[in-house]
Amino acid sequence: MFKNFAGVQLFPGLQDQKFIKRYNSHISGPPLDMVILCVLILFSFVVSPRALEIASMGLRWVLTFLPKYYFELPWLAENHPSQVSLYTCLSFFLIIYTTFKTLFFSLYIIMIPMSREIFVNHRTSVVKTIAIYLLVFFFLIFLFPLPIYGAGASTTLVGNAYFLTFFNILFLWMLSGGISANVLLAKRIKRPNRIDGEA
């Protein structure tokens, strides 16, 4: 996944196997690092729930600035009150971790030497596809609350903090991969009237 982005192949003519392996590990592979982070936080919750609750107080205040968590956290407090601190810490640290991971890997892509060997015939269509992709996952991560508010707060689509976290991992992984793939595409796209030797 993410070797083909918006219908464009990202690896044509790329011989750097070290980069390809690292790209596959960080972007295309399953989000094991996020899962490990969640397991560590869950372990902390089991061992010392009070400490996690104290840590989550300030984090919850920060998260409620995002519309998604502004609605999800009160819903969780009403339906699964014991999971609020856990979900708060899981969500906050997943977002922070993914942000830094994406930033540093994007900088790595920018700095490593690569030839420009990607030709795009319909750039407007590709740009629109990329924009829609990134906006959809940005919307799902930061704006759209997963629980459905029907008959009060008791109606839910996905259940509890564990299901909410599962979808958050998936959406963050997709957004991170999309951003990194977009950076790689921008790095490798062959510009008009540009000589290969200058790449």
Does the CA dihedral 147-148-151-156 come out positive or negative?
Answer: negative
Average pLDDT over residues 120-127: 81
With H, G, I as helix, E, B as strand and everything else as coil, classify residue 86: helix
pLDDT, the chain, mean: 83
> Cα separation of 100 and 96, whole Å?
6
Query: pLDDT class for 151, splitting at 50, 70, 90?
Result: very low
DSSP 190: P
Cβ contact 188:10 at 8 Å: yes
Task: Write down the domain spans for the chain.
Answer: 15-190
The confidence score (pLDDT) of residue 198 equals 44
> Cα separation of 11 and 24, whole Å?
12
Q: pLDDT tens across 59-94, in order?
A: 999 999 999 999 888 888 888 888 899 999 999 999
The amino acid that residue 169 corresponds to is: I
> Cα separation of 152 and 180, whole Å?
40
Residue carrying the six token digits 């971790």: 97
pTM: 0.85
> Cα separation of 87 and 186, whole Å?
36
Of 10-24, 86-100, 138-152, the range with the lowest mean pLDDT is 138-152
Among 143, 141, 147, 146, smallest CA distance to 174 is for 141
